[in-house]
Amino acid sequence: DADVTQTPRNRITKTGKRIMLECSQTKGHDRMYWYRQDPGLGLRLIYYSFDVKDINKGEISDGYSVSRQAQAKFSLSLESAIPNQTALYFCATSDLQGPTETQYFGPGTRLLVL
């Protein structure tokens, strides 16, 4: 079984709709992250959480919100989706253990906003 899972894997929605992307992990990590990836661009951080109820804005948080109600789950919401939010979304986890902290990524959610 995968350590970091994302649902749904693919989603098509219309402009203005509210959608939620879910991320679950079985690694027992405290830290969780949401990124988006666009063609020709590097991964960009949307939000991150270092513990339950801890929420921090990343580089591109506008138009997104997150919820961390449990250690194992971190959800990303688009309150009113717009076409330029069409992208590949990745959830990641990490457990800080010295200077070689590694992030473990989920399989991604491909989102299309029409």
What does the alpha-carbon distance between residue 93 and residue 95 come to, in Å, rounded to a whole number? 7
Q: Which is nearer to another protein, 62 or 98 (CB)?
A: 98
Q: Which of 76, 81, 92, 111 binds another protein (CB under 8 A)?
A: 92
H or E stretch at 93: strand 87-94
**Residues 38-56 as b or e (16 or more Cβ within 10 Å = b):** eeeeebebbbbbeeeeeee
Binding pattern for the stretch 37-76 against another protein, x by CB under 8 A and - elsewhere: ---xxxxxx--x-------x--------------------
Segment near another protein (CB under 8 A); pick from 17-25, 62-70, 78-86, 103-111: 103-111
Single-letter residue type at 36: R
- Provide the binding-site residues for another protein, judged by CB under 8 A: 4, 31, 33, 40-45, 48, 56, 90, 92, 96, 99-108
